[in-house]
A and B are shown apart, each in its own frame.
Chain A
């Protein structure tokens, strides 16, 4: 390509024929660009000094980085952590920016800016090469004997096809089969409603009217993370007479206290947002809204199902207990759910 020298004489400031030797090893120039730095050596020297300044700044940045590293330790205090981070980051930034801007300045001001040209030489090979390549492929194929030997071909196909299976088979134990796991939680008849944070049983009278709390069937440290993830339940105390029980669930509430699963039926975020005045539970993730007095019916948002309700009562010690587990799977829906 460098042998074909196409001289394009269109320039911005008049055509100047370049010396021939310069072009023999480099791509041909089609437009000479004469910058102030090219015309005036003093200007070029000035540009060099500016670039040197950038590089010097970069060096200072490195020193600053090391100094900051030594001077501040984040474990002393959060304030020191902040100072350390800012100083390290800014000094590193100065180091890199100095280097980067210096190099870019070097290219733009001092390296030749001429427009050079290069032929693309068409990607496609010659017709002969293509023919020969095809012939090589075909001849090789004939040499394998595959086109003639269908028994070979088919048995090979069988073997290779089956070979894809072991890598898939060994993935079987990546996880357990769903079976009934998604259907059950730890909640069952007699589970005491324990405050999720303190682990203490919640007693009748602990919750004020308009209050709510998160409860779990066992202390958190006694549950596996998988059991705990489905266990949180909201115990809400409504104003007297407000609750409209779902048909068949008349005795699932206890003196205006109702219990619903905290796990949203949309995609599983905890529904922590209780609005006392309109008795709505709002899930902060995607704004599914459940109306508590109406058995957590969905009134807005992408959730399609009510929150599962936990039937509760109070035992002889005044503690809230569940009278049964949930009657439906908790959390997001899945194919086999029913």
Chain B
């Protein structure tokens, strides 16, 4: 009887216990397995099948190269900062188009909440961070099998791009935080105060010198336009020039000129547009391409935002960054560079004809457009779009190097040097002349000051609409005068030589970043 009862109690407990057991064992056994999920159709650093190919760190470097094409690096804010701000270009498009952001860039002052300024800042720091990541991978990623030469080569490319990005930043903003390595701790990255221009230039020089020492002179056909020793030296020469380091600038520029890679053989009219890409004139170009299927993803919107803003087949782009009347008047009579630089649109009396031979319609919103970015008809037809995202951005071309050489050499002074400078300028003029001896006579002056003016004038017209003018007049300290002439009295060199530090970034750092003077 007692036994029986016990047995019954046992059964009574058994069932729920079995049930409980089932539940728990299901829970415990399936828990671990269930939670072991994997990303679907996405890579992370441990699963990416980094290919061999040209270089083991290419994937990281390519990420940085890709950023060169970004809207926030070489397109919208960039064109405003380097060109629309200058006396050679106007905002363009229709009067109120682009809003306060654009109008401030044309007329000064630029306010610290200007969206273009913040975009330039984040775009460039994105590029800098990618360079630092590539440098970090070279130094720390033991999973990537590589030779010491490959490591040095990858470092050279990354440091070139970082040095170049910082050179833009120091010219835009003057004082920016210096990130010379990848910060794994975002908190540490956040609290870095700004460095002075001198400190930034030290990094730029060191990066570009390292790059110049370790980059190849040229790449094979698979990597046309990848950065070279010439590009590093050319940008380095410019960085020296901006600091008035004439001897170093002369040396860097002359090394490029003696490299045998570049020459002035390309006729001026053929340097630009699609056909002039990556010719012997090209020292550093942002590479872009397109296909009929993919019209924008491998391109850069640089040409599109400047191209003619018309209707129908004349709707090539946004029509911003138009050449100013001052630039139009800056050319010597008969200088063929004027027509290649400025697309004059048709008036009731004079037809405006493009490089392709098209006659522009009447009544376009602007009288002038940047002719250097007007797309060729053959490419428009090939890609079935007028967007021109495929056009490379000319960051540094050989004539610029020659003129930098001329400027540095002239500033060093002495008759011999002034003579060398004169020869350099004249070589540029000779090419522009295109065999027509009736125009653009050789410079003959032997006076340093006259030579200086001749070089400045030559830079203006040779490199018209090519990102040089604003920085040039600021570094030559002639900007206040130039903007008086341009009818932009709001400009004040002491304030407007630099853009304001974006308020958004100051806010994010809670005041670690300090505003530039005058804002």
The yes or no verdict on A and B being binding partners is no
